[in-house]
Amino acid sequence: MNRIPLSVLAACGVLASLPATAAGDDLKALRDEIAQMKQTYEQRIAALESRLVQTEAKAGNAEVSARQASVAASQKPTSESAFNPAISLILAGTYTRLSQDPNAYAIGGFVPTGGEVGPPRRSFGLGESELGIAANISPALRGQLTLALPPEGGAEVEEAFVQTLGFGQGTTIKAGRFLSGIGYMNGQHAHVWDFADAPLAYKAVLGGQLRNDGVQVKWIAPTDLLVELGAEAASGGAFPSTDRNKNGATLGALFAHVGGDTGPSGSWRAGLSVLGTSPREREYDGTDSTGTDVTNAFSGRSRTWIADAVWKQDFAHDRNLTVQGEYFRRRETGDLTYDTGGVSLGTATDSFRSSQSGFYAQTVYQFMPHWRAGYRYDRLDSGNANIGGALSPADFPLLAAYKPKRNTVMVDYSPDEFSRWRLQLARDQSRPDATDNQLWLQYVVSLGAHGAHAY
């Protein structure tokens, strides 16, 4: 930049010292001389500039290495405990007021699942504590254990699996016990749900949540739009399957999810899943037409389809909206056995066919930082079970056609990322004969390692 002004300046100086009489050859000689001087100056300036650049670069390097040295020096010394896995703990508790007895909870028209689907005990209650331990095992594997600690004591392995880390080509393989990838909410732990309890459809169709002991393979397509395909094979055991004591899988699931962005601050995901299993002697307890407690059992095929969709939109300054819904359709065909123990009118078996459906739709709006409000609508349709002639429908009052529904509202406050306080009101018409007005006060807090949450 300063090359030209300098040489011009030099030339001016020479010109100024010229005697006025100079002309002809003298002038030419002078011009040559000036040109030479200019060249010399330019060369020297260029040399200086290149030296300057080199010096600057060296200084820059020195700066970088000095900073790096200080970064390296500040690293903590390693210790034996440095490889301890990440430990996280979820604590939860409720206070509930229920207008109906939670012990008599049932979802009208649907086979009881044997899962913990009813509301918690009245008054103060401890929720399930959840202990999570996770770490990388090797560059290729990660392991995770989630223990649920019910308030009545004991421990339950909620999840325990190993998962490949970057198997390649978008593939991930999971083995062990894990939450199935079907639907949208099934893969989420209860403590991240937007409401204190699961939608009725999950309670009636999956007995809460589907957990598999088996293998899951998931593949992500090489596209900018998320296309995720997954398959699971499992041994079954819990509702809707039963333990079959046979080689090979007794439960299979397939799912596909598609997702992307809507503009710079919105995102969505939609999916379709199917779950198939063949339960044998899947028992449930109920009363019959005489009012006697009997055990009935189903053997046959059970297939469930789930369509799910979620849309999330962020607005400026920590306000956001989530809208989600899932639709379930279950078809079961096989044989139903009445009174397996023969304690009432005598054991009888005949064909059974049912086609049932249900959905929930919910929206949660964070209207100011830390505060959210939400509404959820639940609806199920039991359909009319088709029971063979050897059986009397009156002996299966729990399976009498009914359309349970529920309206739920909630407000929650999360003063920080690790705690949440929630008030939830629900009008639950799961039971044909009674409406349960429910009030929940709930806290959910997380301690220890800061886990990442799924979408």
417 binds other proteins (CB under 8 A): yes
Can residue 227 be called a binding residue for other proteins (CB under 8 A)?
A: yes
279 and 296 Cβ atoms separated by less than 8 Å: no
- How many of the other CB atoms lie within 10 Å of CB of 40? 12
Which residue carries 């609806």 as its tokens?
Answer: 379
* Residue of 2, 153, 225, 245 that binds other proteins (CB under 8 A): 225
Minimum gap (Å) between residue 236 Cβ and other proteins: 26
Question: Three-state SS for 261?
Answer: strand
Q: Which of 219, 365, 375, 443 binds other proteins (CB under 8 A)?
A: 219
Binding flag, residue 386, other proteins (CB under 8 A) = no
* 163 interacts with other proteins by CB under 8 A: yes
Residue 305 bridge partners (DSSP): 274, 329
Smallest distance, other proteins to C-beta of residue 324, A: 13
Q: Which residue has the tokens 């429908």?
A: 393
What is the DSSP pairing of strand 386-387 with strand 348-368? antiparallel
- By CB under 8 A, name the one of 178, 202, 255, 268 that touches other proteins: 268
- Name the minimum Å distance from CB 9 to other proteins: 24
User: Does 259 engage in binding with other proteins (CB under 8 A)?
Assistant: yes
DSSP structure string for 96-146: EEESS-GGG---TTS---SSS-SPPPSEEEE--EEEEEEEEEETTEEEEEE
For other proteins, the closer of residues 228 and 339 by Cβ is 228
Binding track over 53-92 against other proteins, x by CB under 8 A: ---x---x--xx--xx-xx--x------------------
Beta-carbon count within 10 A of 190 CB: 19
The span of 15-23, 88-96, 106-114, 225-233 binding other proteins (CB under 8 A) equals: 225-233
Nearer to other proteins, 23 or 71 (CB): 71
Note if the bond before 77 is cis, omega within 30 degrees: no
Stretch that binds other proteins, among 34-42, 97-105, 230-238, 253-261 (CB under 8 A): 253-261
Nearer to other proteins, 226 or 272 (CB): 226
Query: Which listed residue (38, 121, 122, 142) binds other proteins by CB under 8 A?
Result: 142
Question: Beta strands 86-98 and 123-126: pairing type?
Answer: antiparallel
Torsion of CA 53, 59, 64, 66, to 10 degrees: 170
Q: From the centroid of its chain, how far is CA 441?
A: 24
What would the x/- binding string for other proteins be over residues 23 to 52, using CB under 8 A? ------------------------------
Backbone angles phi, psi at 309, to 5 degrees: -150, 145
For other proteins, which residue of 10, 34, 147, 220 counts as binding (CB under 8 A)? 220
At its nearest, how many Å lie between other proteins and the CB of residue 62?
Answer: 12
Residue with tokens 């969505």: 268
Q: Are 270 and 257 in contact (CB under 8 A)?
A: yes
Between CA 90 and CA 302 the distance in angstroms is 34
If the CB atoms of residues 22 and 447 are measured against other proteins, the closer one turns out to be 447
Taking each helix axis from N to C terminus, what angle separates 25-73 and 3-16, rounded to the nearest 10 degrees?
150
Nearest to 307 by CA among 253, 350, 257: 257
**Structure letter (DSSP) for residue 54:** H
How near is the Cβ of 416 to other proteins at its closest, in Å?
Answer: 6
Contact flag: residue 413 with other proteins (CB under 8 A): no
| Between 89 and 425, CB nearer to other proteins | 89
Applying CB under 8 A, the residues found at the interface with other proteins are 56, 60, 63-64, 67-68, 70-71, 74, 136, 139-140, 142, 163-172, 218-228, 257-261, 264-265, 267-269, 312, 314, 316-318, 368-370, 415-418, 447, 450, 452-455
